[in-house]
Amino acid sequence: MTDSSKDIVRRFLSAAQQGDMATVASLLHPEAKVIEADSLPFGGVVSGFEGFTRLVRRVFTTFANTAVTVDEYIADGDTVVVLATMTGQSKVSGEAFSMPISEIWRLREGLITEIKPFYHDTQKINALAAGTVASG
């Protein structure tokens, strides 16, 4: 019996959180893409394991005390939606934040091929990174 897409994403995220990069690499397709909104301080598209690890380092060092807590996994075939909460603190202003995020994960033949994160308030993410106050 093979793992479901939800099980694979869950294993991937657990391994990433524990620093088990061998498992992370084994579940990520060699040409996997992570697509962040271009407007973010860490925006753009990265590919493969090296691109993924660079991006994660960048996201988690843009802020202080950054953490992501998964609230729910929703799966349909080779697509998994991860609903989560991102917390952290602006390195510039010290302002703490807690924000809902969602991610669309696509898999093919048991490997993760694409991750597309969506932040509830990208303007606030940019303001926190810059140490400015977001309007609204």
pLDDT tens-place string over residues 40-76: 999 999 999 999 999 999 988 899 999 999 999 999 9
Please give the sequence-ordered ranges of beta strands (E in DSSP) within the chain, or none if there are none: 28-36, 44-47, 63-76, 79-90, 96-108, 111-119
Q: Are 89 and 70 in contact (CB under 8 A)?
A: no
Model pLDDT, residue 1: 45
The pLDDT of 2-29, averaged and rounded, is: 94
For the chain, give the mean pLDDT. 93
Model pLDDT, residue 2: 59
Q: Are 102 and 82 in contact (CB under 8 A)?
A: yes
Model pLDDT, residue 3: 79
Kindly report the pTM of this predicted structure.
0.90
CA distances from 46 to 20, 53, 65, 133 (A): 20, 9, 24, 29
State what percent of residues in the chain have pLDDT above 70: 96
- Domains in the chain, start-ordered, CATH in brackets? 5-129 (3.10.450.50)
Task: Determine the Cα–Cα distance for residues 88 and 67; give it in Å rounded to an integer.
Answer: 6
Q: How many CA atoms lie within 13 A of 50 on its CB side?
A: 0
State what percent of residues in the chain have pLDDT above 90: 85
Residue 133, pLDDT above cutoff 70: no
